[in-house]
Amino acid sequence: MLAALSRFKIPRRPSSELLLRCIFEQKVERGELSPLTLSSVTCSRKVGGVRDVSTSSTLCTKVRGNSKKTEMSEKKLTRHFVDHRRVKLVAGSGGKGASSFHSEPRKEWGGPDGGNGGDGGSIIIKADRFVKSLAQVVPLYKGEDGESGGSKNCYGRNGSPTYIRVPLGTVVKEQGKTILDMTEHGQEYLAAFGGAGGKGNRFFLSNENRSPMTATPGITGQERLLQLELRTMAHAGLVGFPNAGKSSLLRAITNARPAVAAYPFTTLNPHVGIVKYRDHEQVAVADIPGIIRGAHLNRGLGISFLRHIERCRFLLFVLDLSAQEPWTQLQHLRYELDQYEPGLSQRPQAIIANKMDLSEAQEKLETLKSHVSQRVIPVSALTGQNTEELILYLRELYDGYIQGGGNG
């Protein structure tokens, strides 16, 4: 029997190497691969005593690009930064009550056993320091409805609350009136109340009515239309005309990295940087987008970014010494701030004369000092000239703010 079976040879399965070579020969015939690629497959028979190892870079390696991350452009950053939203809140409705009667053998008159419905879910606005923008806030929020009651005195489940996470500094408004200013981490505001659940017929049981048939539906949840506005929370704000060097100055004195270019309106959204001192004190400085004449009339970027200056306790006016008359920029900036909010330009401030690396800057600096009575700090954001004096004076303004009880 064994001799008879030995006459039949069991067909061998083709090896993976042979199949791979057949596949590549077909691709070479169709013109999808070059003959050089096919020749590299033959090198994969046995390399160093290891089978099925290919030395072809075309087959086994993956072309990788530059692993270094490129900085996101200001245009892309603007897509992720939203400082105002209009949201409609619809809280969950309560579940309806049940109307049923208990029934079991030998207990004909069991009485009503309909349970109450669950309460609808409320909508809560919560301040979160890890959220930096209102971009994730959607226009409509619908709370979860409560479940209906059941027989055997089963109550419906309450709807879960819906949380809207907003960054610190968000102002909640309704019909133009400020309701709440959220400035602390974890602060919550119950924006829309969920509807109460309906009552089952068990609730209406009394001595006068032993078999009530009444069951009430749930109450509709509260609906509100709110406006959310984000105002940057920073101690100091850099205020100046477009292309005055505010972003470059922020890069020179803080760890922020806003976009810098040689054209106006490079900064399209506020950037906040931190100035760190040796005593571990930190001062936040905000780069406000460029203000132009008529900004209080919503020209240019308009009032959408003027409101970010409201929270700044002291102002840093950045003047461009490459302009013909830099002292006139200060007058126009103060006028725009006062037109937006009276007295805004009277806060503690510093005048910064930027671009001192230019040849004509020294002559214009002397003229600027003769036109203003406040202290002028000459700096060069490009070379870092005299930025130490600005940082020290910034600390003096901050200490005065703290000693004044944090009221500016």
CATH number belonging to the domain at 82-231, selected among 2.70.210.12, 3.30.413.10, 3.40.50.300, 1.10.240.10:
2.70.210.12
pLDDT in tens, 195-228: 999 999 999 998 888 889 889 999 999 999 999 9
Query: Beta strand 349-354 with 376-378: parallel, antiparallel or unpaired?
Result: parallel
pLDDT in tens, 56-81: 444 444 444 444 444 544 444 444 45
Q: What are phi and psi of 133, to 5 degrees?
A: -155, 165
DSSP H helices in 81-138: none
Q: What is the CA radius of gyration of the chain?
A: 36
Confidence of residue 363 (pLDDT cuts 50, 70, 90): confident
Determine the pLDDT at residue 295.
54
pTM of the model: 0.58
pLDDT at 256 over 80: no
Residue 315, Cβ density class (10 Å: 0-12 exposed, 13-18 middle, ≥19 buried): buried
Average pLDDT of the segment spanning 21-44? 60
Helix (H, G, I), strand (E, B) or coil at 50: strand
CA dihedral angle for residue 333, residue 338, residue 340, residue 343, rounded to 10 degrees = 130
What residues does each domain of the chain span? 82-231, 234-405
Determine the pLDDT at residue 69.
45
Residue 378, Cβ density class (10 Å: 0-12 exposed, 13-18 middle, ≥19 buried): buried
Cα separation, 278 vs 266, in Å, equals 32
The identity of residue 252, as a single letter, is A
Cα separation, 48 vs 64, in Å, equals 27
Buried b (16+ CB within 10 A) or exposed e, 117-131: bbbbbbbbbbbbeeb
* Overall fold of domain 234-405: Rossmann fold (3.40.50)
